[in-house]
Amino acid sequence: MKLVVGIATAGRREQLTQTLFQLAKQTRLPDALVICPAEVSDYDPAVAGILPFPVLSVAAPRGSSSQRNAIIAACADADIMVFFDDDYYPNPDYLAEAEKLLQLQNIVVARGYLLADGIGGPGIEQEQALRLIADRKPLPPWDSAIKTTYGGYGCNMVIKMATVRQHGIRFDENLPLYGWQEDIDFSRALAAYGRVVICLRMTGVHLGTKRGRTSGLRFGYSQIANPVYLCKKGTMSPGYAGWMVLKNLLANILKSLWPEPWVDRRGRLKGNIRALGDLARGRMDPRRILCME
């Protein structure tokens, strides 16, 4: 099977380089790596010369959805696409396990088990991530390692490309910039044709690097607008969308009193309020963040 790794990146040149060095440690190397930087300066092409697999760089407008779609377009003959974030460190056997997984059952999307996720905190330093990877517990047997889940997680997501091509499924570019929930939308579109799972044998660490993320105002707007949009589209259930909106709104209200230093809670709350106002006026649209600072 031809297995390709795709990485959409923005504003993290040094972090991307470190992630590529970790990718080179895979026991099953990718047949190719496709990188889509938001800006030319986001990727150091000199790194490609010291990696043990072919590297292709493609261009697209800034945005996780448009950049990932450009990667898909560049991989017409891939059997498996593995999307990694530019701050995700996979265990050395991740790709080997991913290849085995997609040969087992009618699985169209899979995400791995996170040994740690820095997205909800200040982030995880590289040394800590490497310790977690080195100290991983033995893998569970296959018969207990695969669990059905609602959607993939963009930081590490394995996709059966034949299904993507057959049904013309793409990431929704109406979810601009950081995208937020574009992985759920993509997964639920594919779920009509096979299983969406989490595999406990595919493991790694998501550093949750804060550099390169969208502003608090924009992200706060997306926290409301994107679930509502996907609910209307039909790729997110009303219950899931409502729970997500309420959870984030309450978190931003409560934590804006004593915000974490790594989160712009007040900016997010302002974005939440603006989105709710637009919803009440019937003009809410995820793309409105493109007009915000």
| Predicted confidence (pLDDT) per residue in 230-267, tens digit | 999 999 999 999 999 999 999 999 999 999 998 999 99
Mapped onto helix, strand or coil, the DSSP state of residue 187 is helix
| Sign of the CA dihedral with 88 first, then 91, 133, and 112 last | positive
Please give the Cα distance from 167 to 161 (Å, whole number).
10
Mapped onto helix, strand or coil, the DSSP state of residue 56 is strand
CA distances from 220 to 67, 84, 226, 254, 274 (A): 22, 24, 10, 14, 9
Mapped onto helix, strand or coil, the DSSP state of residue 35 is strand
Category of 25 on φ-ψ map: left (φ > 0), alpha (ψ -120 to 50) or beta: alpha
182-225 pLDDT, tens digit per residue, is 999 999 999 999 999 999 999 999 999 877 677 899 999 999 99
Say if residues 149 and 200 touch (Cβ distance below 8 Å).
Answer: no
2-23 pLDDT, tens digit per residue, is 999 999 999 999 999 999 999 9
The amino acid at 111 = R
pTM of the model: 0.94
Parallel/antiparallel/unpaired status of strands 156-160 and 146-148: unpaired
| Contacts with 90 (C-beta within 8 Å, 6 or more apart), sequence order | 22, 23, 26, 84, 112, 156, 202, 203, 204
Write phi, then psi, for 90 (nearest 5 degrees). -80, 150
Parallel/antiparallel/unpaired status of strands 80-84 and 3-9: parallel
Chain position carrying tokens 């600072």: 293
